[in-house]
Amino acid sequence: MKLLQMNTMACDGSDVFWTWILWLLGAFILGLILGWLLKQIFGGAAAAEPAQTYKEDLTKIEGIGEKIQGLLYKAKINNYADLSAASQETLQKILSDAGPQYLVHKPYTWAAQASLANSGQWEELEKWQDMLKGGI
């Protein structure tokens, strides 16, 4: 049984076990604090959220009014980049989940229009919108 016993005495006869435990605990806590600070400074929050979180006026897209814009904002589609990346099925699901009054709206061209708006091709978008009726 003597083999399992650990000697925690220093050369001068003092017990160093608790000293080492406190040093290790302090280093662990310091590591946690430094990790949290580095995550805050260097974008831990940016990795959790999309890079673009600003809201743009989506009513400039033919077929989107104030109420549909509110539905899109609620679904975290806040700008032209988000709208251009959204699939037609996703947009249709947002409309169908909002109720039967939104089923008459067809988001067939919304992503393409948003792509033009996102790239700043406003004249091209305006020409296209002159041919569209309600986004179709």
- Over residues 62-110, the pLDDT tens digits come to 999 999 999 999 999 999 999 999 999 999 999 999 999 998 999 999 9
State yes or no: pLDDT of 46 exceeds 60: no
Length of the chain: 136
Q: Which residues contact 79 (CB under 8 A, 6 or more apart)?
A: 52, 54, 55, 56, 58, 118
Specify the 3-state DSSP secondary structure of 78. coil
Side chain identity at residue 95, one-letter code: L
| Rounded to 5°, angle at Cα 30 from 24 and 34 | 145
At 129, list the tokens: 């919108």
**Helical axes 88-98 vs 110-118, angle rounded to 10°:** 120
**Helical axes 110-118 vs 122-131, angle rounded to 10°:** 160
State yes or no: pLDDT of 136 exceeds 70: no
At 18, list the tokens: 């608790």
Q: What pLDDT score was predicted for residue 134?
A: 55
| Phi, psi (rounded to 5 degrees) for 108 | -60, -40
State yes or no: pLDDT of 51 exceeds 70: no
Q: 35: pLDDT confidence band, cut at 50, 70 and 90? A: very high
Q: What is the percent of the chain with per-residue pLDDT over 90, rounded to a whole number?
A: 64
Q: What pLDDT score was predicted for residue 2?
A: 59
Q: Which residues contact 65 (CB under 8 A, 6 or more apart)?
A: 59
State yes or no: pLDDT of 4 exceeds 70: no
**Mean pLDDT, rounded, of the chain:** 86
